[in-house]
Structure 1
Amino acid sequence: MAAPERVRAFRRGLSAETIAVWLLRFKGWRIVARRFAEGPGEVDIVALRGRTLAFVEVKARADFAAAAAAVTPRQQARIRRGAEAFLARRPAYAGYVVTFDVVLVAPGRLPRHLQNAFGF
């Protein structure tokens, strides 16, 4: 059985992802996938708006600075691998503009959507 703090962190992550999904929908994005994982790659949310396909990482921390700092180069590589796997399985998205976005979630604050937060 998982440690209680791991269970709380998992639930907090799911809650932050749900908040991020609502924010993206409000901004006109259509959610294509959630919690996409294949091999060593993982993406929290895949969203579509027009011809732009965004691979979105969601980070929830005590404040926005801590949340942004948590998107490490190692995590960026994991998200890129997830994006590559997603695109390999869905050739219909081959011509789309791909962005890597981050949604930062902090208690008592509106979530912050950072578009094109890092590159391929």
Structure 2
Amino acid sequence: MNPSSRRPKARTAATTGRKAEWLALIYLSMKGYRLLARRFGGKGGEIDLIVKRGRTIAFVEVKARGALEDALSAITPQKHRLVEARIRQWLAQNPWAMEHHLRADAVFLAPRHWPRHVLGVFELVL
């Protein structure tokens, strides 16, 4: 879909999401993580960031909200299932990764707050 054909609210949300992903990536890079993939997936759900540090591969959901408390509650059970399906898809395409420690993380962002990186935000059942 052409981004200019989206409604203004959807365009604003997409722009906010892309900015949040870049901020999260910069933050994770400063912590020693290296980007493997960005926005993996597509219709039906995607993984915002896939990063690696040492023997750990983290599948990262990025959530930006007006208040940090809202960001912290933004990963729903439905989102969990969608992300897990995309993780299985990525692992099928990257079987070498199965030799690493796999983790589902999240980075929560809100104005006037440092990013919050939560390790193992949900348990992976692969």
TM band (smaller chain): over 0.9
Which deviates more from structure 2 when the two are superposed, residues 53-62 or residues 39-48?
A: 39-48
8 Å CA contact 1:55–1:83 kept in 2: the answer is: yes
Structure 1 residues 41 and 62 mapped into 2: Cα distance closer, same or farther (>3 Å)? closer
**Alignment correspondent of 1:76:** 80
State the 1:40 CA deviation: 3.8
SS at match of 1:23: helix
**What one-letter code is carried by the residue in structure 2 that aligns with 1:71?**
I
Identity, in percent, stands at: 37
**If the length of structure 1 is used for normalisation, what is the TM-score?**
0.96
Match of 1:34 among 25, 31, 38: 38
Structure 1 residues 41 and 3 mapped into 2: Cα distance closer, same or farther (>3 Å)? closer
SS at match of 1:94: helix
Structure 2 gap segments, 5+ residues each: none
**If the length of structure 2 is used for normalisation, what is the TM-score?**
0.91
Q: For the residues of structure 1 that align with 2:72 and 2:79, how far apart are their CA atoms?
A: 12
| 1:41-88 Cα deviation digits (max 9, x unpaired) | 410000001111100000000111101111101001111111100000
| 1:77-117 Cα deviation digits (max 9, x unpaired) | 11111110000001111111110000000012111100111
SS at match of 2:63: strand
8 Å CA contact 1:105–1:111 kept in 2: the answer is: yes
**What one-letter code is carried by the residue in structure 2 that aligns with 1:24?**
L
SS at match of 1:9: helix
Q: Over the residues paired in the alignment, what is the CA RMSD in angstroms? A: 1.1
Structure 1 gap segments, 5+ residues each: none
Match of 1:14 among 9, 12, 18: 18
Q: For the residues of structure 2 that align with 1:38 and 1:18, how far apart are their CA atoms?
A: 18
8 Å CA contact 1:13–1:60 kept in 2: the answer is: yes
State the 1:38 CA deviation: 5.3
**What one-letter code is carried by the residue in structure 2 that aligns with 1:61?**
R
Q: For the residues of structure 2 that align with 1:12 and 1:42, how far apart are their CA atoms?
A: 16
